């Protein structure tokens, strides 16, 4: 369901509009969503912007409220597909990352998995031997030391669900790149941890978390 937005508004309205743009318009880049929200609300360029963690939480809240069962079922399907891919890719020590982990998921997202190999071609041969058609690409990742590495990608489709495999060197298993959302090292889930997520029912996904007591 689409919501109208009146001109003007404060920080809360800006945050809510960012989440709405991401969820309804399939915008994956949070910075682009912020700029669109600023323009639509008629706010100046010096307006304080929400950070990535705030937007991620707002996206999850928006999906729980307006996505409802459709959102929860889609997240379940993505997590189950991720588990299947992790099982297939066990020789490469796969780790699940991204929106499928956090739940800040829209229809535009793909399953994101980090795998590790001495050479990217090893994964290519592995996929080809299993008749899995894939496309090659690359993606830049930032690290806590300030460096940026360009990492090879293999992208394939598992039915209607897209899967992206980022192929890191073996030494990077304990060197997680930074999340573009909050600037912290990416949370990488093992197969066992992903299996726990995949078992969540729709009621659990849609339940609002109870804050930890201070």
Report pLDDT for 211.
56
| CA 78 – CA 85 distance, rounded (Å) | 11
Element (H, E) at 37: helix 30-41
pLDDT digits (tens, 9 = 90+) for 39-73: 999 988 788 899 999 999 999 999 999 999 999 99
Mutual orientation of helices 11-25 and 30-41 as an angle, nearest 10°? Answer: 120
Among 149, 71, 68, residue whose Cα is nearest residue 109: 71
Q: Please tell me whether the overall predicted TM-score, pTM, comes out greater than 0.95 for this model.
A: no
Report pLDDT for 181.
81
Give residues with Cβ within 8 angstroms of 207, minimum separation 6.
Answer: none
What are the two backbone dihedrals, phi and then psi, of residue 126, each rounded to the nearest 5 degrees?
-60, -45
Report pLDDT for 106.
96
Report pLDDT for 101.
96
Q: What is the DSSP letter of 122?
A: H
Report pLDDT for 212.
53
Domains by residue range for the chain, with CATH? 69-200 (3.30.460)
Give residues with Cβ within 8 angstroms of 168, minimum separation 6.
Answer: 114, 115, 116, 117, 151
Low-confidence ranges of the chain (pLDDT < 50): 1-8
| Terminal-to-terminal C-alpha distance of the chain | 36
Give residues with Cβ within 8 angstroms of 93, minimum separation 6.
Answer: 115, 116, 173
pLDDT digits (tens, 9 = 90+) for 10-22: 788 999 999 999 9
Q: What angle do CA 202, 207, 210 make, to 5 degrees?
A: 150
Q: List Cβ<8 Å contacts ≥24 apart for 35-39.
A: 38/14
């Amino acid at each position: 369901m689409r919501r109208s937005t009146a001109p003007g508004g404060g920080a809360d309205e800006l945050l809510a509009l960012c989440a709405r743009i991401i969820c309804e318009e399939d915008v994956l880049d949070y910075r682009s969503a912020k700029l669109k929200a600023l323009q639509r609300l008629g706010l100046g360029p010096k307006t304080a912007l929400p950070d990535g963690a705030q937007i991620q939480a707002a996206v999850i809240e928006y999906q729980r409220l307006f996505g409802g069962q459709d959102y929860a079922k889609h997240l379940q399907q993505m997590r189950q597909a991720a588990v299947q891919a992790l099982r297939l890719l066990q020789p490469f020590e796969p780790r699940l990352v991204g929106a499928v982990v956090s739940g800040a998921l829209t229809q535009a997202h793909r399953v994101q998995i980090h795998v590790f190999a001495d050479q990217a071609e090893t994964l290519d041969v592995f996929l080809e031997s299993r008749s899995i058609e894939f496309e090659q690409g690359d993606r830049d990742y930032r690290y806590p030391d300030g460096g940026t590495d360009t990492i090879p990608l293999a992208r394939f489709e598992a039915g209607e669900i897209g899967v992206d495999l980022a192929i890191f060197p073996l030494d990077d298993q304990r060197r997680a790149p930074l999340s573009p959302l909050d600037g912290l090292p990416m949370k990488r889930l093992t197969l066992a941890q992903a299996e726990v997520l995949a078992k969540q029912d729709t009621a659990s996904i849609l339940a609002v978390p109870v804050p930890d007591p201070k």
